[in-house]
Amino acid sequence: MSKQTKQNLITYGIVIVAYIIVEILILTGNLSSHMKGLLVPMTYYAVIAVALNLCVGILGELSIGHCGFMCLGAFSSAFFSKLTENSLPTVPRFIIAFIIGIAVAGLFGFLIGIPVLRLKGDYLAIVTLAFGEIIKNVINAFYVGVDSKGLHFSMKSSMELGMEKDGNIIINGAMGITGTPHNSSFTVGVIVLLISLFVVQNLINSRDGRAIMAIRDNYIAAEATGINVTGYKMMAFTISAAIAGAAGVLFSHNITTLTASSQYFGYNASIMILVYVVLGGIGNIRGSVIAACILYLLPELLRGFSNYRMLIYSIVLIVMMIVNWSPKVIEWRKRTFGRLNLKRGAKEVA
């Protein structure tokens, strides 16, 4: 077994063991209902953190609009589930809802990626933020209803839909979608997380993944080595968006009223995911999962901490960036550790 395979298996193992422990706690009645309510959000935050790490750590481009893709996945799947709530049995409906949420988010990731990936660095980051906000704003002004004549759309108000009396408004602008079936569960969340991990970790250890990382490290050299830079960037970005869409499906099927609010889908929410990714280690997929779970649960568990959590996270974020990236700090670390190594070497010789 290669070193990489072993590392991947450890990641799956951690997730599965954590799942079993939580299930035992639930069965023995040791988990409060408050805690149980946190389990599904924990899984979708872990999923979107994996998605974002693919974009930031592997592709090397900062996105601060990933919650926009989550929003697309949430709305498209919830729309489908509401529409077919009475006509399809739960399991196939939920599976199709996943496929739709993933496909819609992936499609938009592809479409948005075409312009976005022509940019680099700061500009790319700010444009992802722009697209995230555009998605959120447009959905907030989006009305869809269904009656015997079929679907009606409007960008103005629910009155403009011109529906029959017995018509059913599904997406009601800023009021969003109400009454999506609660199909998400901790088990489903863990399965989605495992599949996301499987896809991302396998991708990293394949031809495509190496090409993507080569572009991250030096796109000029990658081009000269015959790597299709644009194509691979699109691929990574699309997969990342699609996985964020899967997180959105979990989200929308766990909440009674789904609205495209800033709290869940604005750029501040995207930055929160970025905090998970940075604190878990940029490019470290397993770290993202662990960081997302711990950082999501911590403030919920420690009362009083939640007021200070963002303060503490932001300080930790700044300190970590300086410690890990500052050229002077890196040099200082090399000198210090270099000396340690020398000493160790000297001992061995003696």
Contact window for other proteins (CB under 8 A) among 29-37, 178-186, 246-254, 269-277: 269-277
- As a whole number of angstroms, the distance between CA 52 and CA 32 comes to 31
- With tokens 């990933």, the residue in question is 66
Question: 40: which 2 tokens?
Answer: 């599904």
- Compute the least distance from the CB of residue 24 to other proteins, in Å: 31
- As a whole number of angstroms, the distance between CA 12 and CA 194 comes to 7
**Helix intervals (H) in 54-174:** 66-83, 90-116, 121-140
> How many residues are recorded in the chain?
350
Query: Looking at beta carbons only, is 186 or 219 nearer to other proteins?
Result: 219
Among 31, 88, 99, 214, binds other proteins (CB under 8 A): 214
Among 27, 91, 159, 224, binds other proteins (CB under 8 A): 224
Q: Does 280 interact with other proteins (rule: CB under 8 A)?
A: no
- As a whole number of angstroms, the distance between CA 209 and CA 223 comes to 15
Q: Write out the binding residues for other proteins, residues 164-193 only, by CB under 8 A.
A: 173-174
Q: Write out the binding residues for other proteins, residues 4-63 only, by CB under 8 A.
A: 56, 60, 62
Q: Which of 282, 268, 283 is CA-nearest to residue 314?
A: 268
**How many residues of this chain interact with other proteins, rule: CB under 8 A?**
77
Q: Write out the binding residues for other proteins, residues 116-155 only, by CB under 8 A.
A: 118-119, 121-123, 125-127, 129-131, 133-134, 137-138, 140-141, 155
Contact window for other proteins (CB under 8 A) among 36-44, 76-84, 93-101, 209-217: 209-217
Those residues whose C-beta lies under 8 Å from the C-beta of residue 56, and which sit 6 or more positions away, are 62, 63, 274, 277, 282, 283
- As a whole number of angstroms, the distance between CA 210 and CA 223 comes to 13
Q: Does 221 interact with other proteins (rule: CB under 8 A)?
A: yes
- Compute the least distance from the CB of residue 310 to other proteins, in Å: 4
Q: Write out the binding residues for other proteins, residues 282-341 only, by CB under 8 A.
A: 282-283, 307-308, 310-311, 313-315, 317-318, 321-322, 324-329
Query: Looking at beta carbons only, is 97 or 125 nearer to other proteins?
Result: 125
- Compute the least distance from the CB of residue 267 to other proteins, in Å: 8
Query: Is-contact 163 151, C-beta < 8 A?
Result: no
- With tokens 């499906």, the residue in question is 249
Query: Looking at beta carbons only, is 55 or 293 nearer to other proteins?
Result: 55
Those residues whose C-beta lies under 8 Å from the C-beta of residue 227, and which sit 6 or more positions away, are 211, 214, 215
- As a whole number of angstroms, the distance between CA 145 and CA 219 comes to 47
- Compute the least distance from the CB of residue 93 to other proteins, in Å: 26
Q: Write out the binding residues for other proteins, residues 74-113 only, by CB under 8 A.
A: none
- As a whole number of angstroms, the distance between CA 109 and CA 88 comes to 29
Q: In DSSP terms, which residues pair with 147 in a beta bridge?
A: 150
DSSP 155: S
- Compute the least distance from the CB of residue 265 to other proteins, in Å: 13
Contact window for other proteins (CB under 8 A) among 163-171, 186-194, 213-221, 293-301: 213-221
Q: Which amino acid is at 137?
A: N
- Compute the least distance from the CB of residue 81 to other proteins, in Å: 25
